[in-house]
Amino acid sequence: MTEVAPVLVGAAPLPPAAVVAVARHNAPVSLDADALTRVAQARAVIESLAVDPVPHYGVSTGFGALATTFIAPERRHQLQASLIRSHAAGTGAEVETEVVRALQLLRLQTLASGHTGVRPLVVETYAAMLNAGITPVVREYGSLGCSGDLAPLAHIALAAMGEGDVRDASGALVPASAALAAAGIEPLVLLEKEGLALINGTDGMLGMLVLALHDLEMLLTTADLAAAMSIESQLGTDAVFAADLMALRPQSGQGESAANLRAFLGTSPMVASHKGPEDGRVQDAYSLRCSPQVHGAARDTMAHAAMIAGRELASVIDNPVVTSDGRVQSNGNFHGAPVAAVLDFLAISVADVASVAERRTDRAMDPARNHGLPPFLAHEIGVDSGLMIAQYAAAGIVSELKRLATPASVDSIPSSAMQEDHVSMGWAAARKLRRAIDGLGRVLAIEILTGARALDLRAPLVAGPATGAVRDLVRTVAEGPGPDRFLSPEMEAVTELVLSGAVARVAKEHIA
């Protein structure tokens, strides 16, 4: 296994690639020495306020709707522990390990900023847990995205206290106390302000946004390749993707998608075989001809979402924060609205890309529209059903993706005795986007499986280098045309090729 380079935390905003490396590839983290100095300086500010008889929110008061209640010094340790225990109220299925690791990392980055008031020990403990592969069990439901992702972050903090359950580096479910002991990590005993600092953040929704953007970049290239296979095998034209035509409408995402289609189709003998005056068709259907416009709109949406993610990665989210001039100031930066909105925006684009892909697949099944291919690409018409029900599966997924495109961020539900009376639902937006991305990968896999069979049925016409290479990749896990067989395993295998990035990688490697 290739060793993953460590990620430095606290020196500068984390780039998206670093989040992916830690979350998905278990890259270790290291702490910037200057950051730990800033953390200690901010902690000194909190400790000076802790002995002040004047109440200070989060330091010597309760929280949320109880913010005006003064807490005596001898009760504050209990206050912090009670905050974490009560807020670790998630329910439902376990959240994926990569999401939890992103959550841990992004909270660690904020703790290392020197603006939260925690002790250096807290920062070091979070880093040690990541490096030991200790992944707290976080449940799917519980966050409203109001004071950030309170419940998910509280589950992380609870594990750092040695309570609750975690997954160890092997994936086994063990008590947090046992996992910490095995890694030589002392459980935290939280002091003033530290409980709040551990749970006020948009880290869960942001982590899922970063992972989604990483996956969508690959999937949109895959969508261009899938469209190329459909256009080629249905004897469509690539003339509509010409650079001068794209320049007449300078939408950057559309231009990038069209460039991919030109590269995938430009040297195809199959496309060349029907160019010229003998081809009497005036123009292809929208699902073929307008692929760059649809895929490009998704690319532009991604660019906007990446800008918001970059700003959030450069942010310090806590309430209250310790400012650079030593004030401890309440604020509303924990509200997840900016992140929630782009998560919803991406879900719309995912649904649209999947929708046009399913339409291209459907055209391949219909002898009235596929220009000479057998019905449903079946081997023996009337006996075999071919890929008929694979298209049904794609249609069913697209229908679900349309439902998942309904925005979560407009569905505010008040909480905390109306103190938190408008919430972002960013965590929910992120969860449904993850499901949508999986669905998009499956719809594209079905189109690629269909395109591969259609290319084979065009023999002796020859596919282009990129589309042909992907067809050959598909053939390593799925047989070519022939009598009906158990189709689901082949669909799952091609889906794995898509979601792993193998299809996009092979296509780019074979561009002429």
Q: Do 84 and 154 contact (CB within 8 A), yes or no?
A: yes
Cα 235 to the center of its chain, rounded Å: 35
Is residue 392 flagged as an active site residue? Answer: no
Around 384, how many Cα atoms within 13 Å sit in the side-chain half-sphere? 18
Report how far residue 57's alpha carbon sits from residue 45's, in angstroms, rounded to the nearest whole number.
14
Three-class secondary structure of residue 170 per DSSP: coil
Rounded-to-10 torsion of CA 166, 169, 173, 174: -70
In order, the DSSP letters of 292-343 are HHHHHHHHHHHHHHHHHHHHHHT----SSEE-TTS-EE---TT--HHHHHHH
Determine if the peptide bond prior to 320 is cis (ω within 30°): yes
From 57, 126, 141, 392, the catalytic residue: 57
Continuous segment of H or E residues that includes residue 176: helix 176-182
Place of tokens 């906007």: 304
Q: Is 282 exposed, middle or buried (0-12, 13-18, 19+ CB in 10 A)?
A: exposed
Between the alpha carbon of residue 309 and those of residues 27, 335, 337, the distances in Å are 21, 14, 12
Distance from C-alpha of 214 to C-alpha of 342, rounded to nearest angstrom: 14
DSSP letter at 461?
A: S
Closest C-alpha to 152, from 186, 102, 188, 213: 102
The DSSP H or E segment spanning 93 is strand 91-94
Angle at 71 between CA 68 and CA 77, to 5 degrees: 135
Residue 192: strand, helix, or coil: coil
DSSP string, 39-88: HHHHHHHHHHHHT-SS--TTTTB--GGGTT-B--GGGHHHHHHHHHHHH-
Residues marked as catalytic: 57
